[in-house]
Structure 1
Amino acid sequence: MDNSQTYPLFMATDVVCRILGVDPQVMLETSGLGALPYGRSELRGTAKQYFDCWNTMEVLSPRPDYVPHLGVAISRGPVIPVFFTLSCAPDTETGLLRLAQFKSLLGPTLMRVFWDGGLLRLEFDSVDARVPMPPNLGALHLVTVVENIRGATAHPVCAVAAGFDGSEEDRHMIAGHLGVMPERSQAAYVAFAPEDAKRRFVSENPALWADIEADLSLQLAAQNNRWPVADRVRGALIDLMPSGRKGAEDVALALGISRSTLQRRLHEEGTSYQVLLDATRRDMAIRYLTKSTLRVDEIASILAYRDANSFSRSFRTWTGFSPTEFREANDRNFT
């Protein structure tokens, strides 16, 4: 395992802290990461630093039931593009296999999906065996995936087996959400009956999935320096924008190069950072307006706009229509 590998911390600083009402700067300082430039550029950390943030969150949380509270809030709250891998799928098994492919984009967690004894089993683990995943982070994964499946199937799906390395109190805390009492186990896992594994999703969206898969593949490729810089920039933007970051400095940091090097290489490829930012935003906006039911303000947030009005002004510049007008015209063309 390469100890220099880093992962975005936005799930901790921008999602979990907001849900729990914890000051992100206080969390980082308590974790020993106060020197990180929160609010000025994308924050990334090693697997150990990522897990240190989670352990600190456990201490700072004002709620004793923070694990199930977070699991429900994350599954029903902020739009996180990686979760489209699950919701766009035709059924539970397909969605989980897709999610496993891109799970590492959210943090240093491996997700395995396989059949075991007639049950569909998911296991969550650290990407680095030397840096174990905190037990309650494993518990959060279990709650979140069950809640996401319930939303996608519109059915009260329950696990038939589950486990993680938590105390009896911790296991009781999530039992009601999973539908089964988790056992004490080294692996964080959850298992589903065959009928739930094959249960159809009401949220299936193959047209949107085709584009989302391409976007997520670009995100993975963003760390591969053999790809053209323009492609890597688009991948980094898709990764960064949902956390509100869109600056060249953020992208350069994510790619592991200086801002001046980024600009020079883009010039050599016949483009510029602003051209790529506008094109990426435009393409994603059109996709979400025509292939999803996301509200305009939700799309604006995914694209790192300050508010829906700012997004609408840009969209009108690109297309001559407001987002609402564009969506209504597209709907009329297909009715």
Structure 2
Amino acid sequence: MDSSQTYSLYMATDVACRILGVDPQVMLETAGLGALPYGRTEVRGTAQQYFDCWNTMALLSPRPDYVPHLGITISRGPVIPVFFTLSCAPDLETGLMRLARFKSLLGPTLMRVFWDDARLRLEFDSVDARAPMPSSFGALQLVVAVEKIRGAAGHLVCPVAAGFDGSEEERRMIAGHLGVMPERSHAAYVAFSPEDAKRRFISENPPLWADIEADLNLQLAAQNDRWPVADRVRGALVDLMPAGRTGAEDVAAALGLSRSTLQRRLREEETSYQAVLDATRRDIAIRYLTKTTLRADEIANVLAFRDANSFSRSFRRWTGLSPLAFRQEAARAAIVSRATD
């Protein structure tokens, strides 16, 4: 494991701090990370710095029930593309296997899915053995996973077993939400019955999954300098846009390039940064308008527009239609297509 690898701190500085009412700059300074350029460019940190942020948020949180509160709010709150790996799947086992492939895109965590004594077991661990995952962070992973599973299944799925390395008080804090009292264990895990493992998801969406998988693979490949720069830029944007970052300087930093080098290499591929940004936003917008029920303001947020009006103006420039009109036209075309098949 390369301990110099960095991860976006967006989930900590922008999502978790906002939910808990903690000032992100105070959190970073308290964690000894005040020198990170919060607010000016994407903030990234090593696995150890990522977990230092989490431990500091736990200390600063005004809520004693911060783990279940944060987990439930994250699950029901902002659209996070990685979680489509789970919700688009046909069933729980398939969804967890897909999510495990891309979980590291959300932070320095590994996710393992396997059968153990006729139970489907889901485990979480740090990507770096030298930076152990805090027990309360493991508890958060369990709450988020169970909440996301219930939403996708449309059913109150309850684990048959769970565990993490926390005190009895910490374990009781999430027991009511999980529906089972977690045991004290080194691994943060939840286990599901065979019936629940094969439970069909009401949110299954094969067409959306095909597109999401392609985007997430681009995210994983963004650091591979053998790929065309335009593809690497798109992969970086898919990662950065939910954090509100679309600047060339953010993408260049994520790819380990200077801004001038990024722009020069895009010119060599006969394109530009703005062209790649517009095409990426347009393609993702069309996907969400035609394959999901996300509102225009939710799509605008995922694509890092200031507001729904800014998104609508750009979308009209790309397609000649407003987002609502485009969705209606696509729905009519789908009805006609099914009628003529």
Which band: TM-score by shorter chain? Answer: over 0.9
Which position in structure 2 is the counterpart of 1:130? 130
The TM-score normalised by the length of structure 1 is 0.99
1:119 Cα offset (Å): 0.1
> Secondary structure at 1:5's aligned position in 2?
coil
Which position in structure 2 is the counterpart of 1:264? 264
1:130 Cα offset (Å): 1.2
Which position in structure 2 is the counterpart of 1:5? 5
Which position in structure 2 is the counterpart of 1:300? 300
Which position in structure 2 is the counterpart of 1:61? 61
1:267 Cα offset (Å): 0.9
CA displacement 1:53-104 (0-9 Å, x = unmatched): 0000100111000000111111111100000000000000000000000000
Structure 2 Cα separation of the partners of residues 318 and 14 of structure 1: 30
1:255 Cα offset (Å): 0.4
1:120 Cα offset (Å): 0.1
The correspondence of residues 137-286 of structure 1 with structure 2, limited to 5 A, is 137-286=137-286
Structure 2 Cα separation of the partners of residues 85 and 15 of structure 1: 20
1:266 Cα offset (Å): 0.7
**Residue type matched to 2:62 in 1?**
P
Structure 1 Cα separation of the partners of residues 86 and 78 of structure 2: 15
CA displacement 1:212-245 (0-9 Å, x = unmatched): 0000000000111111111100000000001100
Structure 2 Cα separation of the partners of residues 121 and 128 of structure 1: 21
Structure 1 Cα separation of the partners of residues 215 and 63 of structure 2: 36
Structure 2 Cα separation of the partners of residues 129 and 277 of structure 1: 37
Structure 2 Cα separation of the partners of residues 165 and 218 of structure 1: 35
Structure 1 Cα separation of the partners of residues 153 and 208 of structure 2: 17
Which position in structure 1 is the counterpart of 2:30? 30
> Secondary structure at 2:321's aligned position in 1?
coil
Structure 2 Cα separation of the partners of residues 242 and 174 of structure 1: 28
Which position in structure 1 is the counterpart of 2:108? 108
> Secondary structure at 1:170's aligned position in 2?
helix
Q: Which contiguous aligned blocks of 4+ residues in structure 1 show a shift greater than 4 angstroms? A: none
CA displacement 1:121-149 (0-9 Å, x = unmatched): 00100001111000000000001100001
> Secondary structure at 2:22's aligned position in 1?
coil
> Secondary structure at 2:49's aligned position in 1?
helix
> Secondary structure at 1:314's aligned position in 2?
helix
Structure 2 Cα separation of the partners of residues 271 and 329 of structure 1: 30
**Residue type matched to 1:212 in 2?**
I
Count of aligned pairs between the two proteins: 335
**Residue type matched to 1:218 in 2?**
L
1:83 and 2:70 matched: no
1:97 and 2:97 matched: yes
1:15 and 2:15 matched: yes
> Secondary structure at 2:181's aligned position in 1?
coil
1:21 Cα offset (Å): 1.1
The TM-score normalised by the length of structure 2 is 0.98
**Residue type matched to 1:178 in 2?**
L
Structure 1 Cα separation of the partners of residues 223 and 22 of structure 2: 31
1:280 Cα offset (Å): 0.4
**Residue type matched to 1:24 in 2?**
P
**Residue type matched to 1:209 in 2?**
W
CA displacement 1:11-59 (0-9 Å, x = unmatched): 0011101111111111111111111111111111100000000000100
CA displacement 1:235-282 (0-9 Å, x = unmatched): 000000011000000000100111011111111111110000000000
Identity of aligned residues (%): 81
RMSD: 0.6
**Residue type matched to 1:234 in 2?**
R
**Residue type matched to 2:78 in 1?**
P
CA displacement 1:196-218 (0-9 Å, x = unmatched): 00000000000000000000000
Structure 2 Cα separation of the partners of residues 65 and 223 of structure 1: 38
**Residue type matched to 2:278 in 1?**
D
Q: Which runs of 5+ in 1 are unaligned?
A: none
**Residue type matched to 1:129 in 2?**
A
Structure 1 Cα separation of the partners of residues 7 and 68 of structure 2: 24
